[in-house]
């Protein structure tokens, strides 16, 4: 069975600083997808970034980038130039890239990120 671990329950940084959220996972699959979702106080789940395991290049979306280490089964999220609006819960999630997976997402417990002014 797949598991996703986020070892940092809560983090806080000053506005404009860079912060890295960690995520590790356990799987015997070779092909899969990894995601970071943001959940602000509004409760809405927002996709931040995703990574296909077969791609060696790390995904980047504006101020958000990942460090994907497949052999180490590590998938960290880096937020550059952090903004007050980045304050939220961040979830790491895993999905097998197989039709029989029924596209089920396996979630980490989340990291509460607080950006201080």
Q: E-strand spans in 15-110? A: 19-21, 24-26, 32-39, 46-52, 60-61, 64-69, 74-79, 88-96, 106-107
Both tokens of 81, joined, read 């130039």
Other CB atoms within 10 A of residue 34 CB: 24
Q: Which is nearer to other proteins, 24 or 80 (CB)?
A: 24
Residues 5 to 24: which contact other proteins by CB under 8 A? 9
**Using the rule CB under 8 A, is 103 a contact of other proteins?**
yes
Q: Which of residues 23-62 bind other proteins (CB under 8 A)?
A: 33, 42-45, 47, 50
Q: Does 84 bind other proteins (CB under 8 A)?
A: no
Which region among 14-22, 55-63, 65-73, 108-116 touches other proteins (by CB under 8 A)? 108-116
Q: Kind of pairing, strands 111-116 and 10-14?
A: parallel
Under the rule (CB under 8 A), what is the footprint of other proteins?
A: 4, 9, 33, 42-45, 47, 50, 91, 95, 97, 102-105, 107-110
């Amino acid at each position: 069975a797949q598991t996703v671990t986020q070892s940092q329950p809560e983090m806080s940084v000053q506005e404009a600083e860079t912060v890295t959220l960690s995520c590790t996972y356990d799987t015997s699959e070779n092909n899969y997808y990894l995601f970071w979702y943001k959940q602000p106080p509004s409760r809405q789940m927002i996709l931040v970034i995703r990574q296909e395991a077969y791609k060696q290049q790390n995904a980047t979306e504006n101020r958000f980038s990942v460090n994907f280490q497949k052999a180490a089964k590590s998938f960290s999220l880096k937020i550059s130039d952090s903004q007050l609006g980045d304050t939220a819960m961040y979830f790491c999630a895993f999905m097998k890239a197989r039709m029989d997976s029924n596209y089920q997402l396996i979630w980490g417990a989340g990291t509460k990120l607080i950006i201080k002014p």
